[in-house]
């Protein structure tokens, strides 16, 4: 029994040492921009909870500001300029022409106005740190703004409030956002995979004349060896169909190993519909603008 306890203690010691070493490495990567891709790659290999713990420990060296303290840093009288996003405080003083009192983005300073970064609502009600109910696209967009500020400005700490408590620890609201971010990344990948499978159509609109939709081997930004046929694609959860270029030969994509198939690709997919007044064999559809 004593040997088992000793072995367990040794394992725990090694684990703590390894965890601490990873934190130091991640923190070092965070300080040197050229290592950021390596840092992100290593973090993405880790389980969600471990990754968030390491990120927090590597960033925990900053200052902790109250909302009142943050509000003092708006660049008045040539002073420093701070803004917060998702509770992280950035010194944007070097961008005074943009964030200073006379700058176009001065409304972001001295506060955490996270929601406004993706909503575009710059009213007093819109300049809020309440990020509940955001779409998954906006969740991703907000984290892209955080990465922008990390890259171009100095992250100096956190502000006490929605995302961090008085000791600088993440709140449940931040943890919820991080979970939403993980879900958003999954949805983004599913969408990306779907658009590779069913690339978008090229489009041209001539007001008062016509609207044209057509497929090519590069339409939708997806380079491929086939062209496909334009179809209305009715996706689950979407209010309107989109034009997709559908592969018109080989087995269907949902059964790629099928030996007995009609050699029509995904043309018979029930989510696809031929455009009215367009030949089902056409690669280009033209509709008069009435």
| Alpha carbons 55 and 28: distance in angstroms, whole number | 12
Q: How far apart are CA 173 and CA 23, in angstroms?
A: 24
- For residues 243 and 231, the answer to whether their CB atoms sit within 8 Å is yes
pLDDT of res. 34: 46
Tens digit of pLDDT for each residue in 137-171?
999 999 999 999 999 999 999 999 999 999 999 99
Per-residue pLDDT tens for 173-227? 999 999 999 999 999 999 999 999 999 999 999 999 999 999 999 999 999 999 9
pLDDT band per the 50, 70, 90 thresholds, residue 129 = very high
Parse the chain into domains and list their residue ranges.
7-60, 62-196, 198-288
**CA pair distance 155, 144, nearest whole angstrom:** 15
Contacts of 222 (CB under 8 A, 6+ apart): 195, 196, 199
List, edge to edge, every strand of the sheet that includes 272-273: 242-246, 229-233, 272-273
Among 3.50.50.60, 3.10.120.10, 3.40.309.10, 3.20.20.70, what is the CATH number of 62-196? 3.10.120.10
Stretch 56-65: mean pLDDT, rounded? 70
Q: What is the arithmetic mean of pLDDT over 75-100?
A: 96
User: What integer pLDDT is reported at residue 33 of this predicted model?
Assistant: 46
pLDDT given for residue 261 in this prediction: 93
Question: Does the structure show a pLDDT above 90 at 16?
Answer: no
């Amino acid at each position: 029994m004593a040997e088992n306890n000793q072995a367990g203690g040794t394992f725990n010691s090694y684990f703590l040492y390894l965890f601490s070493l990873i934190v130091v490495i991640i923190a070092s990567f965070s300080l040197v921009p050229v290592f950021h891709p390596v840092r992100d790659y290593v973090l993405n290999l880790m389980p969600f909870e471990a990754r968030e713990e390491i990120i927090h420990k590597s960033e925990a060296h900053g200052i902790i500001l109250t909302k009142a303290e943050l509000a003092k840093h708006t660049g008045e009288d040539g002073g420093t300029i701070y803004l917060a996003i998702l509770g992280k405080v950035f010194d944007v003083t070097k961008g005074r022409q943009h964030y200073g009192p006379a700058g176009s983005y001065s409304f972001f300073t001295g506060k955490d106005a996270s929601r406004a970064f993706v909503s575009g609502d710059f009213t007093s009600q819109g300049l809020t740190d309440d990020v509940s109910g955001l779409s998954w696209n906006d969740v991703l967009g907000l984290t892209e703004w955080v990465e922008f500020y990390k890259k171009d400005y100095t992250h100096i700490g956190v502000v006490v409030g929605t995302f961090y408590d008085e000791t600088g620890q993440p709140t449940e609201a931040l943890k919820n956002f991080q979970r939403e971010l993980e879900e958003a990344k999954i949805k983004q990948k599913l969408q990306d995979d779907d658009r590779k499978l069913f690339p978008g159509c090229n489009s041209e609109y001539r007001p008062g004349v016509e609207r044209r939709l057509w497929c090519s081997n590069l339409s939708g930004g997806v380079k491929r060896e086939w062209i496909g046929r334009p179809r209305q694609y009715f996706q689950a959860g979407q209010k309107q169909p989109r034009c997709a270029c559908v592969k018109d030969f080989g087995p269907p994509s949902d059964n790629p190993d099928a030996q007995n198939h009609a050699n029509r690709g995904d043309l018979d997919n029930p989510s696809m519909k031929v455009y009215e007044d367009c030949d089902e064999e056409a690669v280009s559809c033209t509709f008069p603008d009435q």
